[in-house]
Structure 1
Amino acid sequence: MKKQIIALAATTVIGGGLFGTAASAQTYTVQSGDTLWGISQKNNTTVQQVKSWNNLSSDLIFPNQKLEVGGSSSGTASAATTSSNGTYTVQPGDTLFKIASKHGLSVQSLKAINGLSSDRIYAGDKLSLSGSVKGVSTSRPAQAQAQEAPAAPAPAQQEQPAQQAPQGKTLSVTATAYTAECSGCSGVTATGINLNADRNAKVIAVDPNVIPLGSKVYVEGYGTAVAGDTGGAIKGNRIDLHVPTESQARDWGRRTVNITILN
């Protein structure tokens, strides 16, 4: 199908001088015509991170507004939440995916190291970032239980219900995102799936020489999808996943994720 690919191609051409400026900057003053997308690219980050650092609930910004562009995910925050003995303190809004990505781990490895059987975590929990695999635990860590108030705290962010780890061939791939919500897009995939009829359909474009069309594939951070589309730029260990809107495609950006071919 003809589709619009929203990829962070700009990250491959942002040179050393710009990167160095972004790394040292802490705040940014919004200029007339600025967008969160443009600001995030100038500062080598993502729209979602900028919104999180500044407690923004929408993409609306104003000229002369001060935005933090190197906040809670920068080295300073990491030092505050990651101790010298390799443990991380869960912050409000954290997910296992965010924590694992920040520290170069997969979600499965992080869960195995801490003996977790589900993706549910709580603000204040202490997670080990390295070490031997522990036995699976269905309860919260003992330290978190000791600090718990009489009323059970709400989870930092609840993801999908606990599931068994997917079984099948696992690959590490580069993942971008696209949407059928674009001018000139037919909305019909290479295998005939009408994405306009179901904007929430979990469909990925693949290289059929790597992932057979029609396969069910579990994508880390996205869920179980069908390999139902192809694309001219989708070659080798590269996938393009369908999301409902253009803004969600931009928020996804370009990531390296683990996938499991289920059948």
Structure 2
Amino acid sequence: MAMNLKKTLATLTLSVFLLQTSALAATITVKSGDNLWLLARRYNTTVEAIKKANNLKSEALKPGQKLVIPGKSTATAVSRSTSGNSVYIVKAGDTLWDLAKKFNMSVDELKRINNLKSDNLSLGQKLVVKKTTSRNTPRPKTKSTKKVSRGGGREEVVKIALGYLGTPYQWGASSGSAFDCSGFTAFVYRQVGINLPHNSRAQYATGEKIDRSELSPGDLVFFKTQGSSVINHVGIYIGNGQFIHASSGKDRVIISSISEGYYASRYAGAVRIR
């Protein structure tokens, strides 16, 4: 009788544990453009936690791939992103970039929360935004002075860069409210205590030259664009064959592929900043 009771209690304990474990994880399907850094940021977890939960040996992802996201269920992640928010009614002259800056959000986050498929807004449209006590809440900046390495520093570089997705392009700018390509990379690295020259060719001469096969998130990638015979464009590699950069053609900070589309044949090299 006592033995049967012990077995019953053990079974109940295991069932509760499994229920708790499943409630703390969610399974998602990888979409085109997804990478581990974006998913970690979206679901409030870390790249290493996702890799460990899925036994991943590399950072490469494929559309349609199933991933377990540890620590948060999908419902929890959504409620966390929307709880404590408020509704904003679009006024004349509003743009996604202005609203993202006003409410201390990224354009990508603003579009995701509101399920927007384009950048167009209409008068009177209602948008879910973060609550703020100031119309000009400054974008948080990292003041760490640690060196960038394969550890937390490199992950911090990518996180900072993704926080400025959608920021307007402006030639010669490196202010946080607008960037050109080398101004963007210099600004991001400045947040972790590393000063880079505001020039793509000069940045290519800084740091350690690495092969394309050795690319790791946080590395600088360089291109020869617009028919140029010399390096004239730079971005930050974020993994899965993608990089983030200030694009003059798109007039904002965007994510592009180094192996497909316009930049595939214009790739010129990469450096690792120590």
Task: Give the TM-score normalised by the residue count of structure 2.
Answer: 0.26
Structure number, greater radius of gyration: 2
